[in-house]
Amino acid sequence: MDSPRRAAASIDWTDLPVVVTGGAGFLGSVLVDRLRRASAKVVAPRRRDYDLTNMDAATRLLADTSPAVVFHLAAAVGGIGANRANPGRFFYENMAMGLNVVEAARRYGQLQKLVIVGTTCAYPGEASVPLREADLWDGYPEPTNAPYGVAKRALLVMAQGYRQQYGLHAVYLILANLYGPGDNFDPETSHVIPALIKKCVDAVEQGAGEVTAWGDGSPTREFLYVDDAARGIVLAAERYDSPEPINLGTGEEISIRELLTLIADLTGFRGRIVWDRAMPGGQRRRRLDTSLATTVLDFRAQVPLAGGLRETIERYRQRRITQIEAPRPLDRSR
Ligand SMILES: NC(=O)c1ccc[n+]([C@@H]2O[C@H](COP(=O)([O-])OP(=O)(O)OC[C@H]3O[C@@H](n4cnc5c(N)ncnc54)[C@H](OP(=O)(O)O)[C@@H]3O)[C@@H](O)[C@H]2O)c1
């Protein structure tokens, strides 16, 4: 296998046709903004127009848009609750979308680069920390997110096989947990940061004396601000062209207990925190070894956690005000 290397030449984004699958999502919309600011011609297909679990739709997408670069972000994602509720759907949809997009890219045959976004959930549940790219296959992922993680992990193998057999310029990134202003605050599907922000802000507004969080607070996570993630993804398209995956993260870990203390502080929540130990806390520790991204992409995360959390909290508060102030549609049924 090749050793990790930078791409021979960078990409001139000016007027370059680019597709971002999942480009209307949380990470996708930030990536699309960044690429448009670089003057790329970006298409962000929606599921209703191109359902990528369908091979014909994936083929049609590339035929309709003639991209030079594809970023594959479309996915079925969510926090521990959503993963536990949808193990079958998460496996099928992530597997099917990946299979179809990579195969469609091969048939299309004109891509300069296919950037596939993977996840830290693909790492073995018991892997030693920091999580190194070389350790990806040293065990099975943590059970609460294994179907999602295995589906994502399998795409790495597909990308490597297609590079070897068909010369597809596919690169694969393993992203830490993301957070940021456009995050999903729906309690049914949200990840830990938006879930805890919502709980604390809502508790302050309602004068509630306590918030409840899942697990015992001891697991650790690494959180990457969404703008940093988008910047790293673009750098990978520009600078990387090798089969080995690259971790993208901050290289810093924080326990969920410390995270909640920080969010409580930033939101002004002064009440009691109750840990619901009957609920799962997920993998014990997660922190990526980010040295490869530093060496190969010259990538370093720039947004400190407290600053990113402030932005995220502020956006959540603004959204709530907008929702509360928005005029309710007239009920004509009465
Ligand atoms: N969020 C995180 O913490 C995190 C961490 C590590 C890695 N990642 C990875 O980053 C990527 C983006 O995650 P995100 O949090 O931004 O997700 P998101 O906000 O839920 O967005 C997912 C996007 O995927 C699209 N999609 C879903 N099913 C589709 C289908 N069948 N056909 C076509 N499009 C479909 C959706 O399109 P519509 O809007 O049209 O429905 C949506 O735009 C994913 O690959 C995820 O695995 C995320």
Question: Measuring from atom 18 of ligand 1, which residue has the nearest CA?
Answer: 25
Do the strands 220-221 and 254-255 form a parallel or antiparallel pair, or are they unpaired? antiparallel
pLDDT at 258 over 60: yes
**Does any ligand 1 atom lie closer than 6 A to the CB of residue 32?**
no
Q: Whose CA is nearest to atom 23 of ligand 1?
A: 22
Burial-class residue 277 by CB neighbours within 10 Å (0-12, 13-18, 19+).
exposed
Helix (H, G, I), strand (E, B) or coil at 130: coil
List pLDDT tens digits, range 102-153.
999 999 999 999 999 999 999 999 999 999 999 999 999 999 999 999 999 9
How is the chain split into domains, by residue range?
Answer: 17-180+223-251+286-303
Model confidence pLDDT, tens digit, residues 270-321: 999 999 999 988 889 999 999 999 999 999 999 999 999 999 999 999 988 7
Spacing of C-alpha 213 from chain mean position: 22
Q: Is 166 a catalytic residue?
A: no
Is the four-CA dihedral 232, 293, 127, 161 of positive or negative sign? positive
Catalytic residue among 123, 148, 172, 316: 148
User: Which atom of ligand 1 lies at the shortest distance from residue 93's CA?
Assistant: 31
Q: Under DSSP, is residue 248 helix (H, G, I), strand (E, B) or coil?
A: strand
Q: What is the fold, at CATH topology level, of the domain defined by 17-180+223-251+286-303?
A: Rossmann fold (3.40.50)
pLDDT per position as a tens digit, 162-220: 999 999 999 999 999 999 999 999 998 999 999 999 999 999 999 999 999 999 999 99
Cα(322)–Cα(320) distance, rounded to whole angstroms?
A: 5
Any ligand 1 atom below 6 A from CB of 101: no
Closest ligand 1 atom to residue 51 Cα is 32
Indicate which residue's Cα is closest to atom 1 of ligand 1.
Answer: 178
